């Protein structure tokens, strides 16, 4: 019996493959390499100690997906595959709906054809929108989401909830991530953004390694202890372990469950910069610039439900996240691209 990971060569997908192998599951991964590199396959195989069962496949390809379900008895799917750039989604909304929503519908139809009734979905805290107060709890109404990317996450949550309503034997775990950062302690897999990073930690890492001259701090006039934005940063390995816990739950339960995967602890931009400098003994030059459109002051999880329902909680510290990020970046200054 296998667990199928869509987007298995991506940042969170690759870390989840490793944690599933460690937990004793048979793992089958697919990716179309839109947002990932083939080199990740060999890195996962080396870390897990056995060759990764992998298929190059697009989730919109029903025939390709069916071939995988014919070759393996898939007991659950962890669904990461999707486009994820907030800004890009405002420019290419049709491609985001086609890839993220239509692709998910295709995947669910193939799952139905083969009697696979368990899905763990990669959702996002952005579905809470800007009006819900932190710490955010799963019973809050979803917010006025700010972009097509976030809307695809919300739509997919509703699609999976409707499948659960139509099939009482189906289980859908809708995991709302906060801010995943860090890397596996080996330094061999990590975040490898295309082009200039949009997100804070990969940007800091590229400043540290000399690829970028300085960090732009988007505003220091927020009502926080140091004026910069506060977020709930979670180590990617903790996030991956949350997926292992969600699969275990899904294999013995039915129905739809929304679950936050965050720490409940907030750090500001300058807290992260200071921690990175202290842990790695590297100066991170920065300049304060105007706020970024769409940013909010604070975004924090209430992680209670994950603890009570899944028996999971984050264990890594901000120092771990900074140390592991740097080890990955230092050893892979060009990510998975050849030197």
Q: What residues act catalytically?
A: 149
User: Least distance from C-beta 216 to ligand WQD, angstroms?
Assistant: 5
- Rounded Cα distance between 125 and 147, Å, is 13
User: Least distance from C-beta 163 to ligand WQD, angstroms?
Assistant: 22
203 lines the binding site for ligand WQD (CB under 6 A): yes
Closest to ligand WQD by CB, 75 vs 192, is 192
Tokens of 221: 């006039």
126 lines the binding site for ligand WQD (CB under 6 A): yes
What residue number has its CB nearest to ligand WQD? 229
Q: Which of 269, 270, 310, 314 binds ligand WQD (CB under 6 A)?
A: 269
Q: Which of 13, 229, 242, 264 binds ligand WQD (CB under 6 A)?
A: 229
Closest to ligand WQD by CB, 41 vs 201, is 201
142 lines the binding site for ligand WQD (CB under 6 A): no
Helix-helix angle 11-22:39-48, to 10 degrees? 20
Stretch that binds ligand WQD, among 46-54, 210-218, 249-257, 309-317 (CB under 6 A): 210-218
332 lines the binding site for ligand WQD (CB under 6 A): no
* Closest residue by Cα to residue 34 from 83, 78, 98: 83
- Rounded Cα distance between 273 and 285, Å, is 9
Angle, CA 182 vertex, CA 222 and CA 176 arms, to 5°: 65
- Rounded Cα distance between 5 and 23, Å, is 15
156 lines the binding site for ligand WQD (CB under 6 A): no
Q: Which of 119, 200, 205, 261 binds ligand WQD (CB under 6 A)?
A: 200
Of residues 32 through 71, those in contact with ligand WQD by CB under 6 A are: none
* Closest residue by Cα to residue 62 from 107, 104, 98, 113: 107
Closest to ligand WQD by CB, 53 vs 124, is 124
225 lines the binding site for ligand WQD (CB under 6 A): no
One-character DSSP codes across 125-185? GGGGTTTSPSSB-TTSPP----SHHHHHHHHHHHHHHHHHHH-TT-EEEEEEE-EEE---T
CB 300 within 8 A of CB 228: no
User: Least distance from C-beta 129 to ligand WQD, angstroms?
Assistant: 12
85 lines the binding site for ligand WQD (CB under 6 A): no
Task: Return phi, psi of residue 109, to 5°.
Answer: -70, -40
Tokens of 248: 């275990």
User: Least distance from C-beta 89 to ligand WQD, angstroms?
Assistant: 9
- Rounded Cα distance between 215 and 199, Å, is 11
Write out the residues near ligand WQD by the rule CB under 6 A.
84, 86, 124, 126, 177, 179, 198-200, 203, 215-218, 229, 231, 269, 292, 295, 299
């Amino acid at each position: 019996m296998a667990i199928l990971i869509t987007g298995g060569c991506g940042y969170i997908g690759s870390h989840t493959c490793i944690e599933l192998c460690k937990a004793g599951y048979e793992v089958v991964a697919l990716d179309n390499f839109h947002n990932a590199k083939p080199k990740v396959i060999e890195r996962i195989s080396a870390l897990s100690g056995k060759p990764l069962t992998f298929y190059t496949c697009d989730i919109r390809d029903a025939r390709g997906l069916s071939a995988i379900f014919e070759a393996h008895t898939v007991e659950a799917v962890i669904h990461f595959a999707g486009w994820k750039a907030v800004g890009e989604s405002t420019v290419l909304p049709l491609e985001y709906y086609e890839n993220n929503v239509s692709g998910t519908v295709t995947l669910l139809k193939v799952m139905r054809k083969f009697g696979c009734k368990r899905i763990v979905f990669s959702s996002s805290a952005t579905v809470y929108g800007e009006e819900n107060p932190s710490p955010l709890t799963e019973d809050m109404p979803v917010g006025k989401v700010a972009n097509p990317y976030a809307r695809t996450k919300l739509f997919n949550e509703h699609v999976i909830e409707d499948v659960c309503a139509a099939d009482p034997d189906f289980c859908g775990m809708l995991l709302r991530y906060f801010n995943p950062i860090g890397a596996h302690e080996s330094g061999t897999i990590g975040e490898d953004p295309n082009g200039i990073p949009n997100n804070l930690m990969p940007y800091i890492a590229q400043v540290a390694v000399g690829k970028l001259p300085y960090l732009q701090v988007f505003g220091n006039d927020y009502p926080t202890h140091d004026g910069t934005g506060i977020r709930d940063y979670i180590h990617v390995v903790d996030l991956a372990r949350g997926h292992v816990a969600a699969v275990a739950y899904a294999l013995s339960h039915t129905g739809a469950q929304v679950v936050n995967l965050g720490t409940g602890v907030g750090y500001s931009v300058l807290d992260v910069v200071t921690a990175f400098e202290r842990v790695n003994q590297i100066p991170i030059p920065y300049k304060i610039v105007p706020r970024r459109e769409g940013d909010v002051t604070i975004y924090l999880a209430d992680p209670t439900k994950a603890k009570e329902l899944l028996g999971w909680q984050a264990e890594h510290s901000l120092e771990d996240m900074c140390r592991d990020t740097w080890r990955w970046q230092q050893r892979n200054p060009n990510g998975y691209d050849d030197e």
